[in-house]
Amino acid sequence: MKRFHRVLCAAFLLVSAGVSGDTAPIDASRYIEHVKFLASDELQGRGNGTEGLEKAARYIADRFRAFGLLPGAPDGTYSQAFEIVTGLQIGSKNALTFSTGAAQHALQLGFDYYPASVGPAPGSSPDALPLVFAGYGISAPAFQYDDYASVEVKDKAVLVLTHEPQENDPNSRFDGKANTLHSELMNKAMVARAHGARLVILVEDPAHVVEQTKYDSFLKDPQADEYGVPVVRVRRDALKRALGGALDLDAVFRDIEGDLQPRSKALEKLSVSLVEDFGKIRRTVFNVVASLEGADATKRREVVVIGAHYDHLGLGGRHSLAPSLTGEIHNGADDNASGTAALLEIARAAALERSSFPRTLVFLAFAGEELGLLGSSYFVNHPTVPLDRVVAMINLDMIGRPSGRILVSGLDSSPALADALKAASAGVPIEVKTFGQGASVGSSDDTSFLLHRIPSIGFFSGFHADYHRPSDDWGRIDATGGTQVARIAFVLARTVAARAERPEFVRTVAAHGGTASATSGGYGPYFGSVPDFAEEGTGVKFADVRDGSPAAKAGFRRGDVMISFGAVAIKNIYDFTFALRNKRPGDTVEVVVLREGKEVRATVELTNRP
């Protein structure tokens, strides 16, 4: 994407645009000070389960307390605690060993290699496995290219290159210089698994002369996905030594680049074994919750929730879009110090104007969003106020780089709020663009509330080149623009809190987004479920099923747990993503779910995405 670069003004102005005659005490200088602290190196990227996130939680709670807001957690504090899996515990038995006859070459975890995906169980591949080079690990009939066409990899280890062939050639049939889904690590892992491989070894392709991945960062912040097959990334120079001349990576790379023909082959006399010794780390994290009691004795029992997530990626890891920079602080200024700063300023302004809010306000700073909306999911399943009293939710996620416009989602869930939004933005020098929730931005914490039939409005200023990268720093935040967005959200919240009637929830086919997964935007046909990322266990639990979707027409419903899709066993969301990607609109598949412990089968006809 085009890189947006804004120079901050030396003087920050009081934002007073909005409903004629009104001034809300939301100030750009205070706003940017919040951003600067939350996105400072001191907080180390606010990774879930880290001291930096706890510092951020204390900072938010201290501000809520200073504003005179009431503690919102059940124990009388501002902290709603819940437990999540945040990483891996490294044991002492990890080993990756290459063997040629009697000679062995052992690689060191955190120096020569690290896991990108852990196996289904500790010690998942302790046996010596024959080694096969499978090019880029791509099977793409649509591009007339298949690295697996001439080799058998069942019960073997496969060595594959990162990225995809001819990625710097504008005339490549792999979509020119734009990377396709075949370059993605998950896709390479799932293709290898589908071919029966028991281990995937990933090495940087020679097109990237300098290998920037910091292998020791895994030891500082151990994380890995679970693709159902172990995947290890190996340092290129360490791999060359381990192969002992059995494969010339540079020569093979040049050959494939030249004619776009696979050069896969079995590496005779070479075998490899992997022993994994990892456990899951579970940490307690906190939603920070505060409330401002409504000024009207009758209406105060009803609630308007205003939320923003305050966690980010820490030192990068598996969710970073700059994996070679893992180990560097991902400060997350826009994502989502910007939204959290707006939440704080709205809370301060509301406390000063309490009489303008007949209904009660609940302010929520969520943890766990970056791991799958875990904080908001926990809140709606363990609400601190009865959900039937929540009349609306307003969410702020990445609102710090509006460039003259702000994207607002969710009006399709409550069209009655359209006039309130229009009035809130009147006179503000920023364009408001509305769209169906999740239509182009994936999802944020408002999704958790939409799934519970609560009208939810999301503010988002758009993706940019610094998203989920270390370069998302406070100096690129548009303080004036971010404050203008906060102002609009504040006036909207005030209007909703004062409405005579609670806004009606309208459920539509696209009333809520899914996630950046198989069920929403992206590749593949349309199925229509929304996965519950907070649910652990075998299968994919449906947090919801969209009205009118293929899944709904087949009779599937919220709470079902998918265990099979078109004869493919579904153990996790990655299995489902991969299985769905390999289907086309118009295909019919038999899907098996568990409902109250019993299997339910139905045939689903997949369609194009709405």
Strands in 211-359 per DSSP E: 231-234, 265-275, 278-292, 303-309
Pairing of strands 568-569, 561-565: antiparallel
The pLDDT of residue 508 = 60
Nearest-CA neighbor of 451 among 304, 558, 609, 610? 558
Residue 363 near residue 291, CB atoms below 8 Å: yes
Residue 357 near residue 496, CB atoms below 8 Å: no
Residue 489, CA distances (Å) to 193, 343, 441, 495, 502 in order: 47, 9, 19, 10, 17
The dotted CATH code for 92-276 is 3.50.30.30
pLDDT in tens, 190-203: 999 999 999 999 99
Residue 471 near residue 408, CB atoms below 8 Å: no
Strands in 217-309 per DSSP E: 231-234, 265-275, 278-292, 303-309
Least confident of 10-19, 48-57, 574-583: 10-19
Total Cβ atoms within 10 A of residue 35: 28
pLDDT in tens, 418-434: 999 999 999 999 999 98
What angle is formed at CA 507 by the lines to CA 379 and CA 454, rounded to 5 degrees? 25
pLDDT in tens, 30-76: 999 999 999 999 999 999 999 999 999 999 999 999 999 999 999 99
**Secondary structure class of 210 (helix, strand, coil):** coil
Query: Does residue 521 carry a pLDDT above 50?
Result: no
- Which whole number is the average pLDDT over 574-579? 87
- Which whole number is the average pLDDT over 383-403? 97
Nearest-CA neighbor of 159 among 265, 268, 276? 265
Query: Does residue 122 carry a pLDDT above 80?
Result: no
The pLDDT of residue 102 = 78
Work out the burial of residue 174: count CB atoms within 10 Å of its CB; fewer than 13 is exposed, 13-18 middle, 19 or more buried.
buried
How far apart CA 189 and CA 195 sit, in angstroms, is 10
Least confident of 8-12, 123-127, 436-440, 467-471: 8-12
Torsion of CA 554, 560, 566, 567, to 10 degrees: -140
- Which whole number is the average pLDDT over 273-294? 96
Pairing of strands 278-292, 265-275: unpaired
The pLDDT of residue 353 = 95
The pLDDT of residue 135 = 98
Q: What is the CA 91 to chain-centroid distance, rounded?
A: 28
Torsion of CA 448, 453, 458, 463, to 10 degrees: 50
489: amino acid identity, one letter: A
How far apart CA 192 and CA 159 sit, in angstroms, is 10
Torsion of CA 44, 46, 47, 52, to 10 degrees: 60
The dotted CATH code for 529-605 is 2.30.42.10
Give residue limits of the domains in the chain: 21-88+281-498, 92-276, 529-605
How far apart CA 136 and CA 201 sit, in angstroms, is 11
Least confident of 208-222, 469-483, 545-559, 572-586: 208-222
How far apart CA 334 and CA 476 sit, in angstroms, is 8
Percent helix / strand / coil, the chain, rounded to 5 = 30, 25, 45
Residue 4 near residue 414, CB atoms below 8 Å: no
- Which whole number is the average pLDDT over 92-111? 93
The pLDDT of residue 334 = 97
How far apart CA 79 and CA 81 sit, in angstroms, is 6
- Which whole number is the average pLDDT over 354-371? 97
**Average of per-residue pLDDT values in the chain:** 88
How far the first Cα of the chain sits from its last, in Å, is 24
What confidence tier does 124 reach under pLDDT thresholds 50, 70, 90? low
Q: What's the CATH architecture for 21-88+281-498?
A: 3-Layer(aba) Sandwich (3.40)
Query: Does residue 514 carry a pLDDT above 50?
Result: no
